Every structure is written in structure tokens, then in C-alpha cells.
A and B are shown apart, each in its own frame.
Chain A
Amino acid sequence: MCLKEEFAPYMLLPKEIFSLLELQSIDSQNYKGALSQITKLQKKQPHALILKSLKALVLERSGKSQEALVLCNEVKACKPADEAILQALTTVYRSLGKHEEIVQLYESAARSQPKNEVLASHMFMAMVRNDDYKGQQQAALKLHKTFKTNRYLFWAIMSLILQAQEASPPQSNIFLTLAERMMIKAVEDNRLEETEEVHLYLSILLSQNKVKEALGVIDGQLGQRCKDDTEITRIRQDLLLKSENWTLLRETSKKELTETNADDWKSYLAYFEAVFHLSNSDDLTESLNKMSLNDVSDFLNSLKEKELRSSNPRRGPFLAELEYNRNLAAQRKDTSLEASNSLIIGYFQRFGSKACCFEDLLPYLCNISGDVSKDLVDKFQATIEESSDDEKSKIQNIQKWVNIHKLKRYLGHITASTDTEFIQYTNKLWHSYQDSLQYGVSLVETENQFGDDFVILASHTLIDAYIQKGKYFFIIKAILLLESAFQRSKHNFQLQLLLIRLYQIIGVHLRALEIYKSMDIKHIQLDTLSHFIVTRSSSLGFYKEAVQLCYDTLPIYRSNDLETPEMIVHAYKYGTYTKVNEFIEFKKALRNSLQRLLSNRESIRLEIIAACLSTKRIAEYFDEIDISNLLFDQKFCETRQDNRDFKVMANYNPVDKASIEELIRSSPKLDTYWLKVFTLVPLILKKIYDNQTPDEVKDLANILDQIITQPETLSLTEEEKKLGQFVSKLGFIYVAIKESLAEKEGTSLSVSTVISELLLTLEAFYTQVISEVIIVEFSWQHFNRLSLFLEGSSYIVIVIGVIYKLIGTKSKKSGCRELHQAVKSLVIFLKEKLISIKSHLNILKDKAKPAELLAGLLPTITSGSSLDFCSQEENAPFIRQILHRISKSWTIRMYTFGTG
């Protein structure tokens, strides 16, 4: 499907060439065939531009971008104006991101044919793709002047607005004034026909804060034309609020609620705002408008009654009642605690069976004291009727109990502090879940069991226990419960996300990866959700899969570069001006995505580690790596945009406490400090590899040193800081050796001093790696330590390679023997440590074997104050199966580390 579009220029070819190419290449994607056809034709017509541009197109498709570019530039220099040629060149340039070239191409074409509307509008579009707002404006004005179509005028106005946004006052004001003037003229000339054009007009007025004028437009003739547009109604409401026209605001929101949508939250808020302002007003004329607060209750009651007549009453007026009451309380108007509490209880009674009841009630419960809230939740419970036997109300009760437990958690009523208390509460939730299963027997596979949230809450309780008690087996227990629920709700993404994180905490990458892959994360989600698996994936040592995961996220950024500009062009074509800005914002968000860089730096780490298997691969990697994109300056970092979605994970923790998502990060959240460190690391290595001047390396090593010693670098693990130290010290060693070889006067660094410093750091790190793991409690921490030590060793190996080359070439000089010896000591030291780590890993591998692991873990999991789930005999095979899986993942890891 895409192929035809890509080769659209073919369609404009003379018939004979077209049919030749079509047969040969379009259908079969036979680029070679196409090339030979073109070459044949070129023998007859060696100067035909169309053939050259087609050749460029085919070359680009077959991956030869450079050759394609050379040909394109050759053709471009001849200033072609033929549609087919232009399209072919545009396709190549666009795909290579050379928007500037396309602009120039169409500029010269349009100049040669000033009456050609297609060319002129193509030129405008080329400017759009290139974000050249000023160029756009000029091109649009020229189009309008020559071809008189209204649309071009609005293109010009839109371009002015974009320029205003880029500029700062007073320049921005000039653009806006000009845009407004053009708009007023357009209105006088009756040029406005579409709703989107009215939106455009409004956006000019709103960016100048001209509230009165904007209201005038909406309430005037133009507004009449778009009275069915809900967005305009919304804007009008905002404007009435801004202009403090309370009477009108009250009436319009009331009308909106009665006639259009009794579930519209914004209208309720506007209505209350208006009512309170009117009732507080001292103005005599306005006092006529004062309505007694009883009228509000009457109004809400009438809406409530209307809802109650329907079979599935909506929450709108009921929730609005709570909101109104809260406002009353805040204004110290007549309301009693009792009255407001009875409203809240009534709400629970009516909507407690809806999953969102928990979320609905939060704002009205968060500011009341613990005792009162406990009393309230007790009363919620009392409203649940357990006597009814029909299945529907049983299922509704499940949700009510889920809401009760969520509220208890949120309000801090869960006060477990001993192991037994944590386990008891978990058991309670687990039994509720088990009871709920009977009602979900006939659910289809794509649906979740009714009581899944009980298990989620149970896992949250065990996570609390893990955090408070620091006991590892709580995590294993949470995994067991979640896995069990996951068997019955195969697509519950909340279970999936929790499992991914918990497995990461215990260093089990295999299952985490399997679950992540089953979630089918794609397109835009590659930017927002890939952090769940890509973050520090090198630490768990599954290098091959990890590097692939990083690369798998790239297509979304490529799509953004290729597709989003086209969509901005579409927005102009269809005159959808409201979307132009939105699309530009969207494009920037993805282009400047922080996650994009985090994945990229992770992939560089993984690639370097992999390359260290042989000197040849090191050479290949460092010869090829392009460091022009390895930016880390402050401004660059500040303009990155964080699109990562952390909120998707359900959270019922109290508002002043860390969220569940935060509590179960296996390591700190990555930020720009992390980005800087892992930009500097490959940068320093590359500079050393390329034998750059000592000064250059010294500067970078100093910056790296500064970053890792700053107290605010909370995003870095201790091990990452050590790794940073390794690399900065390697930089200093390189500098010292270079300087000593150059016999530079007054060199500041002595080689043996910096090497012995590195040895000290290495030794300390090594002791940590080797000493800690004795018991059967592997975790992300352990793997991270191992992995980073090995990563650091890889970097040392790379630098030693370079140093040997340096010393070797100048070995005749005096003092080199000393250098040799110093470096040799480092090599010997490192070798020793690596050998000893290898044997250490062998011991660990044995400990992680299923038999050993089960013997170690099973008793802790199943005995004593344990979960009922674990002591139930029928679950034993399932538990063994999960532990086997854990063991398998661990042993594989030890193996890859051992051989790495």
C-alpha cells in the first residue's frame, strides 16, 4: 500500500517509461531491476532529469542515502519545475530530513512559473514542513494575492500567530495586532465561512486577552454560525467566567445542564462559581439577582429526580451536590458536618458499586480527621446489603467492598505494623478475592475477574510490609498472589505492570520481559511506556534482548519525523486551524522526548559492553559511533520533554505518601543527571579512542567528576557514581600519559598516582560485589553491582588498549618503562578480580539452582505466619512452578555475567 504512494512520481512519467518501471520494480520491489532499467534509458537520454531523480529515489529506497543525495543536489541545481521530478526529489529529501532543500527546490520552481498554483502551494507546504513560519506567511500572502482564494488568507494569519508564539513582547504583540487587523478585514469582506476560521479569530483575541471582543464574536453573527460547536460553548463559558459576568454565567451553565448534559462537570463548577459570587455581592442591582441558596438545592434536586427516572442514573447531579456542599462549608455558609456526611454516605450507597466511586469521593474525604473518616467508612459498610441472594447484587457488593478497602488504604486506616498483621490483612483480601471468583466463571477470556482489585490491594499491603520490614519474601509472596490472579484475568494490565516491577526488584528479567512483550506496547506507547522495561536494562544483564528493546522504540520517532509534518500540512489543507498548533506541540514533544535519549544512551552502553568481547569489535564500534548527537549541555537538557507515563499504575496510597509506582522502582527514576553521565561516558571513551588532545579529555572528565559528586544527583545509583568515577579517572590517566609522553613542562598529573587512585576505587567496588551475596535473596541491587563492575572493567580494557598503542610507539623514550609498569599493575589487578568474580559467580549459580533455591525459599514462604495461599496444599505445584521460573532466570543471568 505504501509502496504505491512512495512511488507516486512514477505515475506522472511518460507512459513508456512508466510501464517498464512498473513491471520491473514497483510490484516486486526489485530495486536492482529498476536501476538497470534506468541506466538503459539513460544511455539514450543521458541528461534527462527525470531519470536522475528516479535513480535517486531508488537509491534512497535501497539504503544508499549519500549517493541519492548527490544525485538530488545535481538535479536541484538545474532548477526543475516539472511536477514528477519535484515529487521524486521531495520524496528523497523528506525521507532524509532535508526540508530546507525542498523549500529551495519549490522556491525556484515557483519563481519560474509564477502563475502555477500547485507549485506555489507546494512551496507553502514545504515551509510548513520546515517550521519556517515567516516563510509560510510570505508564501501564503503571495498565494492569496495571485489566486484570491480565502483559504490562503487564513494560512497567512495562522502563520502570523505561530510567529507571535515564537517571539517575545513587544514583537509578539505586533504579529498579533497584524493578525487581528487582517481578520477584521476578512470579516468585513465576508470571507469567514467555517467554524475553524472563527476559532482562528478567537485564538487571536484570546492570546491578547481580549475577553470582551471574543465574547462579541461568539454572541454576534459569526457565533450564530457555529452555535452547534460544543467547543465554542465551552469557550464562551470560560469567557463569561473571566469577564465576571456572573448572571449570564449562571444562566448559561444552568441551561447547559438542563438541556444538553447533566453530567458536565465544568458547567457545575461554573454554575457554583457564579452563584457564590452573586450571593456574596453587595451591589444593590446585583442583589436583585441574588438567589437564595435554596434555589441551588432545588435546581440540583430537579436534575437528580430526572436522573432517577432513568434505569442507569448518571452521577452528575449527585456528585455536584457534594461539591456544592464542600463550597458551602468553605464559605462557612449554613451547612452542618452531619448534613454533608449524610450526603457522602448517600453517594456511596447509590454509586458504591461503580469502580470510580473511590475516585469520586476522594476530594470530599481528604480533609477530614481520622476518627470522622473511620466513622464514615463504617457507615459506608453498613449500607451494603448482604442479604440479597441474586447474582447481580452480589457482584455489585464485590465492587463496594473493593471501594471500601481502597478508601481505607487512602485514608490511612490500614495500620498493620507487625508481620502477622500484614499477613492477616492480606489474607482477608485474598479470601474476598476467592469468594468473588464464583461469580466470574462465565466471563470471557478478555474480561477481568470482578475481584481482581482485591489482589492488587493485597499486593500493595505486601509491598508496605516489604518497605517497612525490609523482608525480601514479601515481594515473592506478592508475586505469587498476582501470578495466580493473572492466570484468571489474562489481560489485566494492572496485574501485568505490577508483576513487571516486582520481578525486576528480585532481578528476574525473563518473566518481566515475557509479560512486557505480551502487552503489545506499540506506536506512541513506545515513548510513554517503554520505560517499564528499557530503564537500566543493562543492569539485569540480558544484553541481546535489551539492546533490541532499545532499538524497537526507535520507529515512533522516525514516524514522528515523517508523518507529523504531513499531518500539519493536512490541517492547513482542510483548514483545521485549531490543530496546527496542537500538532506542532505534539511533534516537539516527541522530537525532544527524554525517553528517546534515555533509550539511546542505554543502547550505547549495551553496545560497548557487547563490543568488548573482541578488540576488532571495539575498533568497529568506536570507528563508527557518531558523537555529534551526544549532547549534554544545560540548555539541551532543560528542553527535553518527559512523556513517560508513570500514572497509569493504579495507586490508592494516601495523598501525602509516595505512590505504589514510586515505592516499587527497583532503582531511582532516570533524569537529566543520568542522561549527562551516560552521555559523557561514551564521549570520553570515544575521545580517548580517537587519540584526542589531553585538554579535550580533561575537560570532559572534569565535568563528569563534578556531576557525580553533586549531592542532588539522586537519580544515579551508588554503582553508577562509581562507574562515573572509573571513567573520569580513566580520562585523567589518559591525560597524564599523553602529557608525560609529550614531556610537557609542569604536568599536573602523575600517571602512577592516578592509576593507584583507580585501583583503590576498583578495589572498594570489588569488595562490595564479592562480599554481599550469601543468602538466597538475589535482587536487582546485586545484579546491578555485578553488571556495573563488569561494565567498568570493559571501559578499562578499552582504554588500556589505547594506552598500549600510545606507549608502544614511543617505547624508546626514557620513563616509558615506568609507564609500562604502572599500566601493567592495573592489568594484573583487573585480571585477578575478574577471575575471582567468575568463580564467585559459579558459586552463586549453584545457589540459584532450583533444588537449592526451593530448599532455601520454600520454608520461609510456606511456614510460620504465612499466607493462607501459600499454606494451601493445592497451591504447592503452582508455587514451585513460579520459584523454578525465578531460579531459571537467575541462573541464566549468572551464566551470561560469567562469560561476559
Chain B
Amino acid sequence: MSILRRFKATDLFRFNNINLDFLTETYNISFYLSYLARWPDLFCLQESPNGTLMGYFMGKAEGRGKDWHGHVTAITVAPEYRRLGLADGMMQLLENVSEKTYDGYFVDLFVRVSNTVAIGMYKKFGYSVFRRVIGYYSSGDEEEDAFDMHKPLPRDVNRESVNENGENTFVKPEDL
């Protein structure tokens, strides 16, 4: 049970219960505000009945021609609100906006190849691996590949944004 609404700039003052989670990155002001300024309908949050922030997603619309699509930049839920289906609701909204407001061909996202829990969840939501990006995540000496996962929207009538052999299609980050 929650209120799903647009993210406000001042919500940044009270999102700590979500962002103190180790795997949720905190970015600089410009990062959040530039998303809000450009895609206000693709940056939303879930709020609990007592007013605590539960989770949020941020996304954008990008690409040219048939590559025009919605992109999930971040999606996160605070530890105490996991396994409630919140991510499900947020992804649905993002896909809905990508389809109806931005008229995109598909929605995509990047995920660490080791993050099997998340990959499983996205597959359940209808995403499939489109390609594997070599060394997309790098910190220090450690590098990790990313799966670029796609979910076609109705506009992609011929399902051109889906790649049956995605897990074996390798690309370098600079060729994205």
C-alpha cells in the first residue's frame, strides 16, 4: 500500500532511509535536478501511508529513430519495504509513460551480470537480454559486464528491440 507520485526536489532531504542502503548510490544535486527538469514524469516515488519514502525510480527518454526508448537509470526500494511488489508498480508506471507520453519503441536498463536476483525480477517483468556490455561497471581494478535488457513496447510491432541471442552478443561500452 503506497502513494505513487512524482519525485519532488525537496524529497532529497528525506530519502536517507532509501539511500543509506549500501547498493543505492547518492549523486550530486545536478544529477537529480537535471532529470527532474527534463523528465519530471519519469522520476517518481512510493510513499507509505505514514509519509515515509519507500522507494523511487528515475528514468529518461533517449535515442534516435527506432532506437527512441525509455531508459531506467535507477530503481531502488528501502530495505524494510522490499518484497511488497513496489518495484513492479514503479516499472509499470515507467513503461506506461514511455509508451503513452514519449511514444517509445522499448524500455531498457543495465544490470550487473552477477546480480541474478535483479535479472530474475526483470525477466519476470518481461525484459530480456539484448546484449552484454563488456566492462561496463568499473571501480578501481575491478570490472564487471552489464546486461543491457530490453522490453519492447507496442510501437515496436516487429519486436526489433528484442535479441534472442542477447547473452552472447558482446559490445564494448564505447560502441553503445
Contacts and interface: CB of A to CB of B under 8 A. Distances in A.
Interface string A112-134: 00000000000000000000000
B44 to A, nearest CB: 8
Contacts of A648: 16-17, 20
Contact of A360 (B1, B12, B26, B27): B1
A523 B29 contact: yes
A432 interface: no
Given A228-B96, A359-B48, A559 B29 contact: yes
Nearest to B27: A523
A576 B9 CA distance: 13
A261 B9 contact: no
Interface in A563-582: 563-564, 566-567, 570-571, 573-574, 576, 578-579, 582
A355 B80 contact: yes
A147 interface: no
Contacts of A529: 16
* Size class of the contact patch on chain B: 35 or more
A89 to B, nearest CB: 22
Given A312-B85, A355-B82, A567 B1 contact: no
Interface in B1-28: 1-6, 8-10, 12-14, 16-17, 19-23, 26-28
B153 interface: no
Interface string A191-206: 0000110000000000
Contact of B2 (A265, A556, A585, A647): A265
Contacts of B3: 264-266
Contacts of B97: 228
B171 interface: no
A503 B139 CA distance: 32
Contacts of A576: 36-38, 40
B13 A566 contact: no
A525 B15 CA distance: 9
Nearest to A360: B1
B95 to A, nearest CB: 12
Given A582-B8, A648-B20, A314 B1 contact: yes
B50 interface: yes
Looking at B80, B83, B97, the one whose CB has the most chain A CB atoms below 10 A away is: B80
Contact of A570 (B33, B85, B96): B33
Given A265-B1, A316-B1, A524-B13, A567 B37 contact: yes
Contacts of B23: 446
B9 A583 contact: yes
Contacts of A528: 13-14, 16
B30 interface: yes
A375 interface: no
Contacts of A570: 33-34, 37-38
A522 B36 CA distance: 20
A572 to B, nearest CB: 9
8 contacts: A196-B40, A229-B101, A263-B1, A263-B2, A356-B48, A523-B28, A560-B29, A582-B9
Given A263-B2, A319-B1, A585-B10, A563 B16 contact: no
Contacts, number: 154
Given A315-B84, A564-B33, A579 B4 contact: no
Nearest to B114: A444
A145 B34 CA distance: 29
A320 B1 contact: yes
A586 interface: yes
Interface of A: 195-196, 228-231, 234, 261, 263-266, 268, 312, 314-316, 319-320, 354-356, 359-360, 362-363, 446, 448, 491, 493, 519-520, 522-525, 527-529, 556, 559-560, 563-564, 566-567, 570-571, 573-574, 576, 578-579, 582-583, 585-586, 589, 643, 645, 647-648
A567 B33 contact: yes
Contacts of A229: 41, 101
A564 B52 CA distance: 25
Looking at A263, A563, A566, A589, the one whose CB has the most chain B CB atoms below 10 A away is: A263
A524 B25 CA distance: 12
Contact of B29 (A268, A362, A564): A564
Contact of A359 (B37, B40, B52): B52
B10 A314 contact: no
B4 to A, nearest CB: 7
A405 to B, nearest CB: 15
A838 to B, nearest CB: 42
Contacts of B84: 314-315, 354, 356
A231 B41 contact: yes
B79 interface: yes
B137 interface: no
B123 interface: no
Contact of A231 (B5, B17, B81): B5
Contacts of B81: 355-356
A265 B52 CA distance: 13
Contact of A563 (B14, B28, B50): B28
A315 B14 CA distance: 24
B100 interface: yes
B49 interface: yes
B113 interface: no
Looking at A195, A354, A579, A589, the one whose CB has the most chain B CB atoms below 10 A away is: A579
A524 B4 contact: no
B114 to A, nearest CB: 9
Nearest to A317: B1
A354 B78 CA distance: 13
Given A359-B48, A528-B13, A578 B21 contact: no
Looking at B5, B13, B89, B101, the one whose CB has the most chain A CB atoms below 10 A away is: B13
Nearest to B31: A523
A231 B6 contact: yes
A359 B50 contact: yes
A576 to B, nearest CB: 5
Contacts of B2: 263-265
Q: Which 3 A-B pairs have the closest CB atoms?
A: A491-B22, A567-B33, A586-B9
B162 interface: no
B89 A524 contact: no
Contacts of B80: 355-356, 359
A356 B80 CA distance: 6
Contacts of A519: 20
A647 B9 contact: no
B4 A228 contact: no
Contacts of B13: 524, 527-528, 589, 643, 645
B14 A234 contact: no
Contacts of B101: 195, 228-229
B75 interface: no
A574 B37 contact: yes
B93 interface: yes
A173 B93 CA distance: 37
A579 B41 CA distance: 11
Nearest to A399: B83
Contact of A578 (B30, B40, B49): B40
A265 B100 CA distance: 24
Interface string B38-76: 101100100011101000000000000000000000000
A645 B28 contact: no
Given A264-B4, A356-B84, A589-B10, A525 B26 contact: yes
B116 to A, nearest CB: 10
Given A525-B19, A525-B26, A645-B13, 4 more contacts: A230-B41, A363-B49, A524-B26, A579-B33
Contacts of B14: 528, 645, 647
Contact of B79 (A359, A448, A522, A525): A448
Contact of A261 (B8, B40, B89): B89
Contacts of A360: 1, 49
Looking at B2, B5, B9, the one whose CB has the most chain A CB atoms below 10 A away is: B9
A778 B99 CA distance: 63
Given A229-B101, A523-B29, A567-B33, A263 B19 contact: no
B6 A574 contact: no
